[in-house]
Structure 1
Amino acid sequence: MSISNAWAQTEARLTWLDNRFRVDPEIEQITFVVTREQSSQSVVLVAPDGRKYYANRHSKAMSWYSDKGMDIISINHPMAGPWQALGKVSVNNGIRFISNVQLQADALPAQLYQTEVLKFSAKLTQNQQPLLLRDYLDRVRLKVIFYPLTSVLPNQANDSAPIEVGQFADDGQEYDEVAGDGIFTVALNVDVEPGKYRVEIASTNGVFKRVVEQTVLVYPAPITTSFVQSHQPLTPHSVNIEAKADQTLAGSLAAYLVVKQPQQKPTIIQQSSRLQQSHLTISWPNDAQIGKAWWRGWAYVTDSLTQRELVFRLSQQNYTQVAAVAVDFSASLAQQQAKRQLIVLHEQQQQRLFWVVVTNIVIISVLVVLLIWRRKRVVQSDLIVPK
């Protein structure tokens, strides 16, 4: 049986008794999915020239993924001629062929922001059409990896180690819209330091070898967040979010918080900024309950340069509510009264001292006057001429 180029570029199902198939010279790449009987060993692949290949020992031109009851083998530039798969191949499912598999991914914005979260999709295609072979797709593991190149910020260390920032899924959960539609989606969390990166989207489990690369710049987040915890029952807790006016549109800031206080169910608080404002203050009452508490959420703002809607995850922040410090007003009042009494007593002492000094001065002055007067009398008496 011959597999023509046109046939190999579409999924085909073959169930031969001897598990033989022929590859034509025009085929540049082929992948076949072999369904085996449960608990059986991986098949042995025999090339037209008689060479045998195994799951753990095969050519560099092959990628071989072995799972329970299944082998997925991709061959680049396969040798033309009859191939054979030796093993307990399932009679019901047999061998299915796919070829011309390509990985396509969305184009990332050239300018990303630190801690930004964005929806990012990729898909496998066959002849420019979505590949929908579930046995194949269920075993695909796509990851997004950032490779640091240079730093945008001066004097910042450059770590060349790759950083995994997300894994794709086609399960209809979270950001993925439809399960099993061949479109893989990830909530890309750009939790990396500002700088220049080479972004690689690739399979990590050997099902196929396709890589998509892009280059992006990551800038510091255009928002800042601060939390002010209250320690008094009448003062609320608050989260302050500030957007940079030179990078975001005024009035576009919004936030969504989930707050969990002790002995209460989580509550949701949503708020948006007013026109021409670039900040938000979100508060909730301190219920005076003692225990562990937390808050987390999302912030939304519009990039003023590209008009792109930005989403930032506000990581969970834990805090502990403790008993408010009791103020003894009666003791405070007594202290104030005692202080006033001391002040009055001090003033009285100062007044007594003043009058003592004045009295002494008066007495001394009188004595001095009397002494002078007496001396004058003596002098006058000495100047009298006798008759």
Structure 2
Amino acid sequence: MLRRLWLLIFYVPLCTWILIPSAWAQAEARLTWLDNRFRVDPEIEQITFVVTREQPSQSVVLVAPDGRKYYADRHAKTMSWYTDKGMDIISITHPMAGPWQALGKVSINNSIRFISNIQLQAEPLPAQLYQTEVLKFSAQLTQNKQPLLLRDFLDRVQLKVVFYPLTSILSNKSNKSNKSNESNESNDPTPIEVGQFADDGQEYDEVAGDGIFTVALNVNVEPGKYRVEIASTNGVFKRAVEQTVLVYPAPITTSFVQSHQPLTSHSVNIEAKADQTLAGSLAAYLVVKQPQQKPRIIQRSSHRQQSHLVLTWPNDAQIGKAWWRGWAYVTDSLTQRELVFRLSQQNYTQVAAVAVDFSASLAQQQAKQQLIIQNEQQQRLLWVVITNIVIVISVLVVLLMWRRKRAVQSDLIVPK
């Protein structure tokens, strides 16, 4: 019994000394450092501090190792400072090595967390895009080449996709106007925002909070050459990824034919360019809303070797506003890339058919017919009169000439 007691007295402290450093090391990363101080190593090129504050409180004051103080509205150009209710996110490029301190009502329940070596990684866009095309596009933030999953940080990150026009492929303007436009675009291109990333598990985003930001990139820009920039826009951190793409005209055309007769259907005609798309790969999906009816879905796909579709729905003769919208799908023949195009909502109005009084219409038709008959009879009578006059005159002329001839003969003296 004494032997077992001595063994417990000996081994328990040893195990405690072995386990405590490990537990302390794990807790140290989560707990606030003493007096809100933290040390930055010399090899760190970029660092971000996420400071949680008590409420109500103002933004913290950041004190550098050399004693310089930085504020949310007064800080160095190498800093980006994002302040939110109860939180400061401060990013510093090439921070001074040594002890830093955050002065303010730092919450005792949250640590000052450090994020270093943040990188923005984005999938490469296809070099050839199409106007009105919609494609799924993803980007991710990493820390030391590992996915960054700090929700307090990620929830405040805003990533946008911006197109900067470089040259125009299609232009109907004069050469002088083109040169002027190209000069303006190259000097000061007007940015076109085409999408914002989200990590909320909605629409194209697969999993909320997994650190992968996704956007339904709507390439609703004019055909041409663009510099595409993916960048942070809210000052949490400064990162950007760029590449150059070409935007071509859409390889499909869409036309809508509205019916004005109850027995004739409305129709949407979709035509794919045979030299740019695979035959038989065209499909479409429409949502149609007619007056006093719930939206209905119409789906069609082309048969083999076909490059067109016709989607129809009946005209129910109801009065009111109506609309349709949808999607078209086709395969690029050159790259075998599956293309998705949004068919923007098109509104139209269904009006009531004009009520017709058949009896009145019949009477009008009969009156018109009678008038036509009378006109024809008058024309015939006129021709008869004219013809008779011509005949009478002709007879009179003939008789007059005959009488003159006889008178001349009777006046002749014949010698015996």
Could you say whether these structures have the same fold, taking a TM-score greater than 0.5 normalized by the shorter chain as the test? yes
After TM superposition, the structure 1 stretch with the greater mean CA deviation from structure 2, 344-353 or 275-284, is 344-353
Counterpart secondary structure, 2:253: strand
How many Å apart are 1:339 and its aligned residue? Answer: 4.4
Q: Is 1:365 aligned to residue 395 of structure 2?
A: yes
1:306 alignment partner in structure 2 = 335
2:259 alignment partner in structure 1 = 230
Q: Is 1:79 aligned to residue 96 of structure 2?
A: yes
1:207 alignment partner in structure 2 = 236
1:18 alignment partner in structure 2 = 35
The letter for the 2-side match of 1:288 is: A
How far, CA to CA, are the matches of 1:63 and 1:186 in structure 2? 25
The letter for the 1-side match of 2:106 is: V
Q: Is 1:112 aligned to residue 162 of structure 2?
A: no
The letter for the 2-side match of 1:180 is: G
The letter for the 1-side match of 2:395 is: S
After TM superposition, the structure 1 stretch with the greater mean CA deviation from structure 2, 103-112 or 285-294, is 285-294
1:266 alignment partner in structure 2 = 295
How far, CA to CA, are the matches of 2:226 and 2:239 in structure 1? 19
Q: Is 1:48 aligned to residue 65 of structure 2?
A: yes
How far, CA to CA, are the matches of 1:60 and 1:349 in structure 2? 99
**Which of 140, 154, 166 is matched with 1:137 structurally?**
154
The runs of 5 or more residues in structure 2 that have no matched partner are 1-27
Give the 3 Å change call, closer, same or farther, for CA 124–369 of structure 1 in structure 2. same
How far, CA to CA, are the matches of 2:167 and 2:406 in structure 1? 106
Counterpart secondary structure, 1:262: coil
The letter for the 2-side match of 1:38 is: Q
Which has the larger strand fraction? 1
**Which of 192, 202, 209 is matched with 1:173 structurally?**
202
How far, CA to CA, are the matches of 1:141 and 1:363 in structure 2? 103
How many Å apart are 1:342 and its aligned residue? Answer: 4.2
2:10 alignment partner in structure 1 = none
Counterpart secondary structure, 1:18: helix
1:13–1:97: 8 Å Cα contact kept in structure 2?
A: no
Q: CA RMSD in A?
A: 2.6
1:44–1:85: 8 Å Cα contact kept in structure 2?
A: yes
Counterpart secondary structure, 1:268: strand
Give the 3 Å change call, closer, same or farther, for CA 372–302 of structure 1 in structure 2. same
Give the 3 Å change call, closer, same or farther, for CA 12–355 of structure 1 in structure 2. same
Per-residue CA deviation, residues 146-192 of structure 1 (Å, 9 max, x unaligned), is 11111122446455111111100000000000000000000001111
How far, CA to CA, are the matches of 2:191 and 2:311 in structure 1? 37
How many Å apart are 1:127 and its aligned residue? Answer: 2.2
Q: Is 1:318 aligned to residue 335 of structure 2?
A: no
Give the 3 Å change call, closer, same or farther, for CA 212–328 of structure 1 in structure 2. same
How far, CA to CA, are the matches of 1:186 and 1:83 in structure 2? 37
The runs of 5 or more residues in structure 1 that have no matched partner are 1-10
How far, CA to CA, are the matches of 2:140 and 2:204 in structure 1? 14
How many Å apart are 1:71 and its aligned residue? Answer: 1.1
1:146 alignment partner in structure 2 = 163
Could you state the TM-score of these two structures normalised by the residue count of structure 1? 0.89
1:12–1:98: 8 Å Cα contact kept in structure 2?
A: no
How many Å apart are 1:383 and its aligned residue? Answer: 5.5
How far, CA to CA, are the matches of 2:60 and 2:142 in structure 1? 26
**Which of 190, 214, 230 is matched with 2:219 structurally?**
190
Which has the larger helix fraction? 2
How many Å apart are 1:340 and its aligned residue? Answer: 4.1
